[in-house]
Amino acid sequence: MSRKLSKESLEYKEGLRSFNAWMKGNKKLEKMGLYGTDYYVRRVEELEAKVKKLEAILKTKGKK
C-alpha cells in the first residue's frame, strides 16, 4: 500500500511542477502584454508574413 501512495505522490509532485512551469510562462507573457491566445495569434501572423516573403523570393528566383 505504501508503494502505491508514493507513486501517487510522485505523480502529484510532477503535475504540480508542470502546473507551476505553465503559470510562470503565463506570467511572463502577461508582462509582455499578451493574454490568453494573443501570443500564439501574434506568432502565427509573424510566421505567415515570413512565408509570404520567402515565397516572393522563390518566385523572383524562378523567373530568372
The C-alpha cell at 30 is 502577461
29 close to 35: Cβ distance less than 8 angstroms: yes
For cell 511542477, the residue is: 17
Nearest CA among 30, 43, 53, 62 for reference residue 22: 30
Are 47 and 54 within 8 A, CB to CB?
no
At 25-34, the pLDDT tens digits run: 888 888 888 7
pLDDT, tens digit, 9 for 90 and up, residues 5-57: 677 888 899 999 999 999 998 888 888 887 778 878 889 999 999 999 999 99
pTM: 0.49
